[in-house]
Structure 1
């Protein structure tokens, strides 16, 4: 692949040229006029992507090193959207959502064209197939979304593992096979997409699960998140807290009460992270997500070290629920010693009262009396965290960031947070209604974001791969889905599901790329924390390597059935790809550049299947490397 280093105003052309080189597609005549700078459409985001490869410009990258991280609500309030377009008629309501206090009338409940339907689908799930586009256009956003949440659940990840003939070997299939399958195969794609978003808030990383059954433990954790998309936040918080995978990851498994003789104190890891990362955050928030400040303009802290120390007592006494007769009941093929069965991976951790601290607990203004039984202490603590005024805006803003845009306006955050507080039926934290509020909001559905240069988000690499797989009929002939850990930015995507490098996810919600226009404007771009010079080229090289060859000696392979019918018409092929991959957001200049690149060598009806496939995969790579694709609007 030729090394293309671009200054920000060359972002659009350079990204396409890089992809064309990777696929060995002849580039357009270098004497031809370059396309206009990527402004307005991919805008500042495309410039930011180009800044990851600024060797020719003398700038700094936006990778994992360096950069600032703002707490939620600090310096990232977003720009107010332009005046809304005229109202459109809508369809039936999503359950109780009709009565939610969203302080707005939904103006965009019925897509007016395929592009609008595709844009919605690419926020709500992983892909926008022609069938899904037709369904959304027929039913409208709310009715379609309601049907997706209420549809029968797909086969659970844990059940899939158990259905395989070699299920008795703990590590025959790794976590990655399970995780990628769950992103690609299940029909309930909305629930799987929301579960992926939740997995980046309630983080458990597969690399830190030490047990005899790590794959099953992570599979059950994923299944719990999928089930949580139809539950309350309070229930999900309890499920996460008692989940054995979380217990293994953040040390609540085996956490014991204080011991004055030895000086032992309860482990504070989960107590700290459950406040900082999954409920209330570091600074006090207004309902619209903006930070509350003191008289000197400094953000107000949400909790103290004493709060952490006290709350840690609540999470003592829990351990894996391995029951009588299960220990030593399984001997894996080739193993010398017997181990316990994997049944515990499907159960919440069990409380051993003798190891639970009975000291009084005082945190965040909540008191738990000394001697309170462990289960009751847990209930009081989780109720307090769920009902804290920070939790609604903290979670709402992160769900917006994961599904729609990085810098939602305060009004958008408030409307979603209001639904978190009350779904219209008196239920707090109804995740289904909160997600619906995120996706149906006028700011998410209106056309203003398409032209606002600071609106949108960078598509995460793992979401790009899932989109490719679902869009082009990827299957696993053996049914094993051996795609692997793609965390390497050199040989993979730089990201892999359930493989976060730490409890802080792949990136922080308040990450600010250094030395960029985003930083100058006080905006955040979370996904840029995993963008770097190596990864920009590595992504294109990786996609070029798998578009035809697939994974695992061609076991996991794409069909490209629809694209084969369009292969003789480069313009029609690019238009179809633009629709399903970018919601028809390719600029005219980029479209022309891609069509031109595909025209040589010519492809005719008598061309070999290999030549035809080359054109298809070159087209896919070029579109999936464009700024208009990499930046989701």
Structure 2
């Protein structure tokens, strides 16, 4: 599989790593089977304390490997310090600590601090990619960043689609990410309202300036947001049981809404526009404020959808609030959103029982409140299906790590930093040369990939499984990812002045087996099998080791090969 020697250059390293990566990118393993329901574990994921034990001490000792696996699901990095913290606190208390951490400097404020609100930059996207990557890589609240990124792939906007907004796209997009971050541990109903009154969403799904029916011209309210609010952000297309399975009537799936429901709901999203009361379009400040209702443009007549009616004469604000209450009360919201969050954090194919358990928490937390995202995230990550090591051997468990997550896993695990605080990583959407993915740059409102995507003509399809992230995998993206990561690992110019800290690895460069073992833990939670680790060890051992440059070359090569290993690409 590996060449006898590795000279760390774009040609040989890409070929060597490509052999490994192609195993995970070919569309699935021939051994994939549908194993049905997962078995319950008895390892007490809630980590209750024993009598007489120190406060928050885990009832069952957590190994380094188990802690690393938990961090791979719950955060964006695995570090020695975080492993120890998980072992000392236990899973539940670690989550509590993360959720209680104060947010770091907002993306908006960072843009202002860098002078990106200068009028000359009004019509550019300058600074957005930098502020997005900076938070994802540098902010200490790893759980909040992971959940915010997951929500950005459910409640989707793209900076490229922010048109007709008076400019300041970078600030509109930055504030949208700040909004998701500020509410990712709050209530999903509140989040829906904040998203529905954000300037970014009003631009992306074109309801900014939406006006009521004009009998003279025949113009009707724009239906774009009404459709996607139901289809993608709340209830989905088909009626669901609480375990996420589709409701059938006479063997036919039942739809959740009709065209008439879209038309009725669209009437609610009329009359909304920028709040320019304390500023104008010459500054980006209006993007930080919720939309303002213009009564003359709002449809004041009755609006009916989902079997209920918004009465005539309500203000635009009241109509919006009532409509969101109707949507949020729909029984589909819990399984529809819960399943997608499980997919983003833990596994692409959660069992119906797993979805049902999380849906139950979504429907009612310990106080009986619906939509508590803090409780939902804990339920997902502490569930027996997420925590039991037995699932490591199941071919229907786990998920492909999306390219952004792989990059962030490397950057955060090795304390990558921009010495100049410029974070010039840029737009990494190009699949042939970069990651094929970049924060808030989805090609459509359907995200980079669909939650139900099935690779055609694959073992995954034959097993009736889904693999969402495989939708953005191609021959070009496989090679592009490897080459990009090879450059990033070695500190090449394509990531600005972003540099990782490998000081803790230098002493291991003379010991290939120890070096690869450390990387296996910190990147793959010890999931790379012995055949592949031995191949990587032998390749690293064949490289010269005469000076510090050689040691660094060994580290670069080992990192690149581990980042390309199938067991890293597939998170279990």
Q: Report the TM-score, using the length of structure 2 for normalisation.
A: 0.92
Q: Distance in 2 between matches of 1:140 and 1:20?
A: 40
Number of the residue aligned with 1:24:
12
Number of the residue aligned with 1:323:
277
Number of the residue aligned with 2:429:
487
- Deviation for aligned residue 1:492: 0.7
For the 8 Å contact 1:77–1:409, the answer to whether it is kept is no
For the 8 Å contact 2:210–2:221, the answer to whether it is kept is yes
Q: Distance in 1 between matches of 2:495 and 2:394?
A: 44
Number of the residue aligned with 1:560:
502
Number of the residue aligned with 1:464:
406
Q: Distance in 1 between matches of 2:362 and 2:26?
A: 37
CA RMSD in angstroms comes to: 2.7
1:360-414 deviation per Cα after TM superposition (whole angstroms, max 9, x unaligned)? 1111111111222111111111011111000000000000000000000000000
Q: Tell me, which stretches of 5 or more residues in structure 2 are unaligned?
A: 51-57
Number of the residue aligned with 2:135:
182
Matched, 1:288 2:243: yes
Q: 1:610 aligns with which of 535, 542, 549?
A: 549
- Deviation for aligned residue 1:24: 3.3
Matched, 1:496 2:435: no
Matched, 1:452 2:440: no
Match of 1:362, SS state, is strand
Q: 2:192 aligns with which of 232, 237, 240?
A: 237
Q: Distance in 1 between matches of 2:552 and 2:493?
A: 17
Number of the residue aligned with 1:193:
146
Number of the residue aligned with 2:458:
516
Number of the residue aligned with 1:64:
none
Matched, 1:571 2:547: no
- Deviation for aligned residue 1:20: 8.2
Q: Report the TM-score, using the length of structure 1 for normalisation.
A: 0.83
Number of the residue aligned with 2:266:
312
Q: Distance in 2 between matches of 1:304 and 1:78?
A: 36
Number of the residue aligned with 1:359:
301
1:408-427 deviation per Cα after TM superposition (whole angstroms, max 9, x unaligned)? 00000000000001111121
**Structure with more helix by fraction:** 2
Number of the residue aligned with 1:381:
323
Number of the residue aligned with 2:107:
157
Number of the residue aligned with 1:301:
255
Q: Distance in 2 between matches of 1:530 and 1:111?
A: 39
Q: Distance in 1 between matches of 2:4 and 2:10?
A: 10
Number of the residue aligned with 1:80:
37
Match of 2:309, SS state, is strand
Q: Distance in 2 between matches of 1:18 and 1:430?
A: 51
- Deviation for aligned residue 1:608: 2.7
Q: Distance in 2 between matches of 1:281 and 1:500?
A: 19
Q: Distance in 1 between matches of 2:2 and 2:460?
A: 20
Matched, 1:113 2:63: yes
Q: Distance in 1 between matches of 2:433 and 2:84?
A: 37
- Specify whether residues 576 and 235 from structure 1 end up closer, same or farther in structure 2 by C-alpha distance, changes over 3 A only: same
Q: Tell me, which stretches of 5 or more residues in structure 1 are unaligned?
A: 1-12, 29-33, 39-44, 58-75, 94-107, 328-338
Matched, 1:434 2:376: yes
Matched, 1:253 2:192: no
Matched, 1:132 2:82: yes
Bigger RCO (CA 8 Å, 6+ sep): 1
- Deviation for aligned residue 1:154: 1.1
- Deviation for aligned residue 1:178: 1.4
Q: How many residues align?
A: 556
